[in-house]
Structure 1
Amino acid sequence: MVKKQLIMDKALELFAKQGFESTSVQQITEHCGISKGAFYLSFKSKDELILALIDHFMMQITTDIDYIVRNTNKKQLLYEFYKATYHFFHQHSDFARIFMKEQTQSFNQDLFKKMHEYDLHHGKLILTLIERLYGDSVEETKYDLVYSIKGFMKMYAEILLFNSVNVDFDLLTQSLVEKTNLLAKHVTIPFVSRENHNMLECTKNEVTQKELLEILQQRMAEMDESIEKDSLILLEEHLQNPTYSPAIVNGLIENIRIHPHCKWIAYLLRNYYGIQ
């Protein structure tokens, strides 16, 4: 069985040069040195491969930001948030560059849907960050701040990715921290209310018990015997028949949090159980 990751890595090299639309399955298989049959054992189509790549990168940045938002002390939180975001863009610049370009040109509904789902996750994380940092002082303007921070992330990422300039990441991060703090302190006229925010982000992004079980079973099938796999088995049992205390559930989730196959399910389980 050809490893999915090999195909994803090699396909990404071609996508970086040619874009999604101009790269064929034939070119991908030739670049990988495999047959089309081997490709289709891993992916049903090129579109499924593209969505798998998006999942791979978006799950990584989402879980990394989630950990920072929940665990960083308030004094460093905003700095670490922006720093992690732009270092991720820089580290994965080939993918980020082609993906941002393709987003503006593609009419693939599955792509739009998937990106909207991740945008909802990021919006929740940013809202949590704002509430941790500023509390009741931004109660009327916090939803505007969510969109302002999203705008900063996108605009400055485009500068980073589409211009041949040397970026001082520390200066960029400090500048965005200052801008965000100024907005939080001085903006008094809200445009986006709670009701507007809920309407704009009305698409479901809460995972169901059935969806969690499917992801758990998929992850377990991918893993060798280990403490992490044992923890997944116990979490699956608890999801179907709750018997463990919140402290035990939290401990099991911590067991799997840093495993590359488990970061996303750990993030989803924390949200499902309301673990901070």
Structure 2
Amino acid sequence: MLKKQLIMEKALELFAEQGFRATSVQQITDRCGISKGAFYLSFKSKDELILTLIDHFMMQITSDIDYLVKDSDDDKLLYEFYYTTYTFFHKHKDFAKLFMQEQMQTVNEELIVKMHQYNKLHEKAILSLVERVYGDRIKDTKYDLIFCIKSFMGMYAELFLYENVEIDFDLLSRSLVEKTNLLAKYMTIPFISQDYIPLIKYGKNQEVTKDQLLESMEQKMDEMEDSLEKESLLLLKQELITPSLSPAIVKGLIENIRNHPHCKGIAYLLEDYYEMKNEKRQDA
């Protein structure tokens, strides 16, 4: 196991046991069996480690949802959205609880900005979902429906995050599909103004740049063993620098890295980067 990955895994164990603030770098290095110097070669500080863990956690669920929205059948999409989201948070519930507490307590500006970015990515994915499922039937209320769906997810997540209730996720997902369908059918008075719409559709005005992608890809390659995924990532990096491959080959290379634990986020960002490029080309 690579040292950075080891630190992240052992730190997660400690954070789940005693929280972010109560865990020291010394405790993390003791759990890993490494020196403090080795820790600081991987992370500049405990705060950077926390941000890296949160970034990894959020990018995993964001990329999973985005892939789901793009690839699921329309008649199953809403159910699979709820089911995938809830089972992911349940699987990682110790960290999810810590993460939610950190959001409420943090004064870390970098974390606040990052959470705003992920919130916008989440809203954008839900917008794509409701447009696919309901089409023009909800053209006036779809932005309100986004907030209803987000509220459902937060309220019911409390049952297993804080109340420790055993959850039937199939039943919960079917119940929320029914509730969402009822709202979509009977809502007639929109609240979300036109001023807010661009913030959802284009809220990622901090869109990832080519230089940021290249930096992230370099970092991920340093963390990976030699493999098909690493080779695919190298080819994608070369394609960003000097484009020469067909869209079909680029898409195939992205599929190669999608399920690697270090590359899910990169796959999502690359897809979004090329999607934005295509939209700009069509608008030109």
- What TM-score do the two structures reach when normalised by structure 2? 0.90
Sort the Cα spacing of 1:177 and 1:48 in 2 relative to 1 into closer, same or farther, 3 A. Answer: same
CA distance in 2, matches of 1:74, 1:141: 19
- Tell me the CA shift for residue 80 of structure 1: 0.6
The answer for the alignment partner of 2:234 in structure 1 is 233
Sort the Cα spacing of 1:70 and 1:169 in 2 relative to 1 into closer, same or farther, 3 A. Answer: same
Q: Post-superposition, which runs of at least 4 consecutive aligned residues in structure 1 deviate over 6 A?
A: none
CA distance in 2, matches of 1:261, 1:17: 25
CA distance in 2, matches of 1:26, 1:229: 32
1:140 aligns to 2:140 (yes or no)? yes
Letter of the structure 1 residue corresponding to residue 226 of structure 2: E
The answer for the alignment partner of 1:251 in structure 2 is 252
CA distance in 1, matches of 2:255, 2:94: 31
Sort the Cα spacing of 1:243 and 1:97 in 2 relative to 1 into closer, same or farther, 3 A. Answer: same
The answer for the alignment partner of 2:281 in structure 1 is none
Q: Is contact 1:25-1:46 (8 Å) kept? A: yes
- Tell me the CA shift for residue 203 of structure 1: 5.8
Q: Which runs of 5+ in 1 are unaligned?
A: none
- Higher mean Cα deviation, 10-19 or 216-225? 216-225
- Tell me the CA shift for residue 198 of structure 1: 2.6
CA distance in 2, matches of 1:225, 1:7: 21
- Higher mean Cα deviation, 243-252 or 207-216? 243-252
The answer for the alignment partner of 1:100 in structure 2 is 100
> How many residue pairs were aligned?
276
Q: Deviations over 1:70-102 (max 9, x none)?
A: 111011111111001110111011101111122
- Tell me the CA shift for residue 60 of structure 1: 1.2
The answer for the alignment partner of 2:22 in structure 1 is 22
The answer for the alignment partner of 1:184 in structure 2 is 184
Q: Is contact 1:2-1:39 (8 Å) kept? A: no
Q: Is contact 1:2-1:42 (8 Å) kept? A: no
CA distance in 2, matches of 1:73, 1:177: 15
Task: Give me the identity figure in percent.
Answer: 63
- Higher mean Cα deviation, 13-22 or 133-142? 13-22
Sort the Cα spacing of 1:225 and 1:101 in 2 relative to 1 into closer, same or farther, 3 A. Answer: closer
Letter of the structure 2 residue corresponding to residue 237 of structure 1: Q
- Tell me the CA shift for residue 234 of structure 1: 2.3
Letter of the structure 2 residue corresponding to residue 266 of structure 1: A
Q: Is contact 1:2-1:38 (8 Å) kept? A: no
The answer for the alignment partner of 2:193 in structure 1 is 193
Sort the Cα spacing of 1:73 and 1:183 in 2 relative to 1 into closer, same or farther, 3 A. Answer: same
Sort the Cα spacing of 1:214 and 1:116 in 2 relative to 1 into closer, same or farther, 3 A. Answer: same
Q: Deviations over 1:141-194 (max 9, x none)?
A: 111111111111111112221003221111111111111111111111111134
CA distance in 1, matches of 2:14, 2:259: 30
The answer for the alignment partner of 1:161 in structure 2 is 161
Q: Deviations over 1:201-229 (max 9, x none)?
A: 74634111111121222222333333322
- Tell me the CA shift for residue 238 of structure 1: 2.0
Q: Which runs of 5+ in 2 are unaligned?
A: 279-284
- What TM-score do the two structures reach when normalised by structure 1? 0.93
1:7 aligns to 2:19 (yes or no)? no
The answer for the alignment partner of 2:211 in structure 1 is 210
CA distance in 1, matches of 2:81, 2:38: 40
- Tell me the CA shift for residue 199 of structure 1: 4.3
Q: Is contact 2:121-2:204 (8 Å) kept? A: no
Letter of the structure 2 residue corresponding to residue 235 of structure 1: L
Sort the Cα spacing of 1:252 and 1:36 in 2 relative to 1 into closer, same or farther, 3 A. Answer: same
The answer for the alignment partner of 2:74 in structure 1 is 74
Partner secondary structure for residue 195 of structure 2: helix
Letter of the structure 2 residue corresponding to residue 223 of structure 1: M
Letter of the structure 1 residue corresponding to residue 223 of structure 2: E
- Higher mean Cα deviation, 191-200 or 17-26? 191-200
Q: What is the root-mean-square deviation in Å for CA atoms of aligned residues?
A: 2.0
Letter of the structure 1 residue corresponding to residue 230 of structure 2: K
CA distance in 2, matches of 1:34, 1:220: 23
Letter of the structure 2 residue corresponding to residue 270 of structure 1: E
Partner secondary structure for residue 207 of structure 2: coil
